[in-house]
């Protein structure tokens, strides 16, 4: 089931290692959830920034189950005042792939300084989910 959302992020990356925290509200029309995602990133560059993220993707089940847990992906940010970024990841569960897209956002906008790109290892937790709307 396709999902879409909006949220905010803060990210720091230096000397090849970075960290990123994102809070997002996501819906797949059947359910609305709030998620927190924490990521570590390995790759070249230096970056410090914060702003908005725009989650978009496909969940194999309801989003409350499919988007929670570990994920792997790639991403990057570029900022000299205004900031733009991207990230794509694959959610992993006991039965294999649980989601494709991002809980962080395929596109990000905000403010910051620097340039970085790398591989991400993330964990997403649901803070709150509605009951299934239908």
Reported as a pLDDT band with limits 50, 70 and 90, residue 97 is confident
Q: Is residue 72 part of a domain?
A: yes
- Domain with 119, as residue range(s), is 2-40+62-129
Q: Is residue 49 part of a domain?
A: no
The H or E element that residue 101 is part of is strand 96-101
Q: Is residue 55 part of a domain?
A: no
Q: For position 134, what pLDDT does the model report?
A: 58
Whole-number Å distance between alpha carbons of 67 and 77: 23
| DSSP string for 15-83 | TTEEEEEEEEEEE-SS-EEEEEEEEEEESSEEEEEEEEE--EEEESS-HHHHSSEEEEEEEEEEEEEEE
Whole-number Å distance between alpha carbons of 104 and 40: 13
Q: Is residue 134 part of a domain?
A: no
Q: Is the pLDDT of residue 103 over 80?
A: no
Q: Which residue has the higher pLDDT, 98 or 22?
A: 22
Q: Is the pLDDT of residue 25 over 90?
A: yes
pLDDT in tens, 29-76: 889 999 999 999 999 999 999 999 888 888 888 888 888 999 998 988
Beta bridge partners of 50: 10, 111
Cβ count within 10 A of residue 17:
12
Q: Is residue 122 part of a domain?
A: yes
Q: Is residue 34 part of a domain?
A: yes
Q: Is residue 79 part of a domain?
A: yes
Q: Is the pLDDT of residue 24 over 60?
A: yes
Q: Is the pLDDT of residue 86 over 70?
A: yes
Q: Is residue 96 part of a domain?
A: yes
| Domains contained in the chain, number | 1
The predicted model gives 103-132 an average pLDDT of: 84
pTM over 0.85: yes
Q: Is the pLDDT of residue 104 over 70?
A: no
Q: Are strands 56-59 and 2-14 parallel, antiparallel or unpaired?
A: antiparallel
């Amino acid at each position: 089931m396709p999902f879409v959302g909006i949220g905010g992020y803060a990210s720091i990356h230096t000397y090849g290692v970075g960290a990123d925290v994102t809070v997002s509200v996501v819906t797949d029309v059947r359910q609305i959830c709030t998620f927190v995602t924490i990521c570590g990133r390995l790759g070249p560059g230096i970056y410090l920034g914060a702003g908005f993220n725009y989650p978009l993707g496909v969940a194999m089940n309801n989003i409350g189950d499919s988007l929670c847990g570990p994920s792997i992906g790639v991403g990057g940010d570029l900022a000299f005042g205004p900031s733009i970024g991207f990230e794509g990841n694959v959610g992993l569960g006991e039965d294999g792939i649980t989601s494709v897209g991002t809980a962080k956002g395929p596109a990000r906008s905000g403010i910051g300084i620097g340039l970085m790109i790398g591989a991400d290892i993330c964990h997403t937790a649901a803070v709150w989910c509605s009951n299934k709307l239908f």
